[in-house]
Structure 1
Amino acid sequence: MLLLLILFLSIILGFLYIRYVPIRGVPCVSSLNQGADSIKTVDVRDYIQSYNDPIPGSTNIPVMYLTRNYHELSHMQVFVVASNRLEKNISIRFLRKKDINVVGYRLTSCKCKQKAKYKPA
């Protein structure tokens, strides 16, 4: 019984970690520098939000479709645009697990003051 309780708690804590614990090493930035042409901007918001508020030059791949379409981003540096922290955490963790270099993120509801420093891969 105790083993079952420990297993159940570890599964719950794992889900909470993936969804709500912030990601280290990926800065929130307002925009990319001018020389960041090799960085691909990926909009992980759903199709309706990205249609109503488009981001020029970005590729829209909603979080739910990342498992199908992450291969389009392989061997690239990626900048993630999300509408909330949950989308940001899940998408960045998934992309990092697939060995895709995430250089920064931006939330549409948050205004970051910092600019990204471009580092070629």
Structure 2
Amino acid sequence: MIIAILIIFIGFIMYMLYTRFVPVIGIPCIDISSNQLETINVKLDIRDYNESFRQEVKGSILMPVAYLNRHYRDIPEKEIHLIASDSTERNLAVRILHNKGYRVTGYSLMDCGCKGK
């Protein structure tokens, strides 16, 4: 009985680590300072309010990752470009949006850019 509970607990921990730290393959990184962002229709800023207030991205929809499950219906189109502060935030948002039927076409990281991505 204890072994079964331990296996379930380890499986749960591994699932949580997977969803947070293993990136979704096939989503390109676009540098935030490039001109490519101007042509993108829906830019979804998933950073916290206090971070996005300091570095605002013109034309983006502000919806922190904690609010995605409740307010995903407010996103106007199914193809989205994410703006995140770090890779953990990006991974969670991509998985949530894929489960809700959205297609993430690219992402930008504000803090570290696209070096080596």
Per the shorter chain, which TM-score range? 0.7 to 0.9
The equivalent of 1:26 in structure 2 is 27
More helix by share: 2
Preserved contact between residue 78 and residue 101 of structure 2 (Cα < 8 Å) = no
The equivalent of 2:112 in structure 1 is 110
Q: Distance in 2 between matches of 1:46 and 1:12?
A: 25
When residues 13 and 44 of structure 1 are mapped into structure 2, their CA distance, relative to the original with a 3 A threshold, is same
The equivalent of 2:8 in structure 1 is 7
SS in 1 for 2:36: coil
**Scaled by the length of structure 1, what TM-score is found?**
0.84
Preserved contact between residue 73 and residue 100 of structure 1 (Cα < 8 Å) = no
State the percentage of identical aligned residues: 36
Count of residue pairs the alignment pairs up? 113
Q: Distance in 1 between matches of 2:102 and 2:75?
A: 7
Give the C-alpha shift of residue 3 in structure 1.
1.1
Aligned AA (2:7): I
SS in 1 for 2:42: strand
**Scaled by the length of structure 2, what TM-score is found?**
0.87
Preserved contact between residue 74 and residue 100 of structure 1 (Cα < 8 Å) = no
Give the C-alpha shift of residue 58 in structure 1.
0.2
Q: Give runs of ≥4 in structure 1 deviating > 4 Å.
A: none
Preserved contact between residue 80 and residue 104 of structure 1 (Cα < 8 Å) = yes
SS in 2 for 1:33: helix
Deviations 1:45-76 (A, max 9, x none): 01111111100000100011111110122642
Aligned AA (1:59): I
Q: Distance in 1 between matches of 2:89 and 2:37?
A: 26
